[in-house]
Structure 1
């Protein structure tokens, strides 16, 4: 669901920037940052776009995230918790797919962006991740080109330079976009049959990691029409919202 998450994150990023009254540069930058942030929760999966995005560096981060998720699951699990269907150890779709984790991601990225070097790193990492995720929406040979690490990295570097040179985003705005991007990822996974632990750390029916699912849940990765509709709606909604915000 990488492309769908990225598209929904782009829409969320644009929406946050529009509410903040951002200019066109802010809307575009926040859209790309939101797209990248919407892929962050899947750092808890060894084969996700986020995990593979920066080679050994992101793979090492993924291992640390999975270990932390499993440790928190073991420390907070109730007798009825089983660790999930993926590995039984509380790694994938556990800690990073909670509401506190979304908020924490926003706080960490916002704090890091309080300095120019920190803002540059946050922008480059998330924009490159967002471009990679959005590039998955494209089919054929263009998809391969848009997935190239060098191409994506250089494009993200260009975007970062322009944004910092023209209109550096406020750290609070950047943090809010990251939190919103992570949140729409969690809500997107709530729409699937595997569900997400929306109530953690509260107890629900004897479980602290109760997996909430949409009444109309679909299986992720099966090419469900619901996912295609969501991807198209968000993909078209982000630029439409940019135009509306500028006209308003």
Structure 2
């Protein structure tokens, strides 16, 4: 689901930035909205760092591989420490801690604070998430050299470098909206997984019928299988809506 997660994250990033601009009265420009789309799209792949074979985990070789192992270990530790006797048995790794809105908000708050206080932190957030975005969105393209180039891990990170320079030094504003775009991108990943057959622990750490790690999802009739028409419809609707929302905001 990487391309679909990235597409929903791109729309979430633009929406978060446009909403923050409207709420606080600062003029979000093209660079802000473009960066927000990249941050949201890349952030929407971050929850799957808890799976060793995900797009995010395999993006930058041993670096993201190490991040994946750390994420799995942290998730398993939190699961063991907070589970109740009613929680289902599991290893607590994939689709546990990293797939909770609480974790997304914590990561977004940290990224927003760091990006506000230190320009290199902003550049690092934009670069890393933009590279993940290119990998995820590249897989939505028809098969061919462009898709292979964008979806290749090292190539995506190399291409994201000059793009980050153009965006950050071209006028991206620092502020908590960076963290909001990142957090919302992760949250829409969780919501997307909640529409599939497996569901995710959206309510953690609140107990649901005695279970802190209750797997919450859409009603059974609304869930879909990964790769079916519903997923493709959501993906392309978001890919069309993201630039339309950005253009509408700039036109105001």
Q: Do they fold alike, i.e. is TM over 0.5?
A: yes
Deviations 1:181-207 (A, max 9, x none): 011111111111100111111111121
Of 201, 212, 216, which residue of structure 2 is paired with 1:212?
A: 216
Q: Distance in 2 between matches of 1:202 and 1:46?
A: 28
Residue of structure 2 equivalent to 1:20: 20
> Are the counterparts in 1 of residues 58 and 153 from structure 2 also a CA contact under 8 Å?
no
> Are the counterparts in 2 of residues 7 and 235 from structure 1 also a CA contact under 8 Å?
yes
Residue of structure 2 equivalent to 1:35: 41
> Are the counterparts in 2 of residues 13 and 34 from structure 1 also a CA contact under 8 Å?
yes
Query: Root-mean-square deviation (CA), in Å?
Result: 1.2
Q: Distance in 2 between matches of 1:75 and 1:20?
A: 36
Compare 111-120 and 171-180 and name the one that shifted more.
111-120
Indicate the SS of the match to 2:212.
coil
Residue of structure 2 equivalent to 1:67: 73
Compare 197-206 and 162-171 and name the one that shifted more.
162-171
1:117 paired to 2:120:
yes
- Give the TM-score normalised by structure 1: 0.94
Residue of structure 1 equivalent to 2:25: none
Extract structure 1 runs of 4+ deviating beyond 3 A.
Answer: none
Query: 1:23–1:197: structure 2 CA closer, same or farther, 3 Å change rule?
Result: same
Of 132, 136, 149, which residue of structure 1 is paired with 2:135?
A: 132
Residue of structure 1 equivalent to 2:240: 236
Of 198, 212, 227, which residue of structure 1 is paired with 2:231?
A: 227
> Are the counterparts in 2 of residues 196 and 212 from structure 1 also a CA contact under 8 Å?
yes
Deviation at 1:150, TM superposition (A): 4.1
Residue of structure 2 equivalent to 1:187: 191
How many residues align? The count is 242
Indicate the SS of the match to 1:50.
coil
Residue of structure 2 equivalent to 1:4: 4
Q: Distance in 1 between matches of 2:179 and 2:250?
A: 22
Q: Distance in 2 between matches of 1:15 and 1:147?
A: 25
Deviations 1:96-150 (A, max 9, x none): 1111101011012113322122111111111111111111111211211212334
> Are the counterparts in 2 of residues 3 and 135 from structure 1 also a CA contact under 8 Å?
yes
Residue of structure 1 equivalent to 2:107: 105
Residues 198-209 of structure 1 mapped to structure 2, 5 A cutoff: 198-209=202-213
Compare 105-114 and 6-15 and name the one that shifted more.
105-114
Compare 39-48 and 143-152 and name the one that shifted more.
143-152
Deviation at 1:213, TM superposition (A): 1.2
Residue of structure 2 equivalent to 1:178: 182
> Are the counterparts in 2 of residues 194 and 219 from structure 1 also a CA contact under 8 Å?
no
Structure 1 gaps of 5+ residues are none
Deviations 1:42-96 (A, max 9, x none): 110111111011110111010010011011111111112124xxxx201111001
Deviation at 1:168, TM superposition (A): 3.0
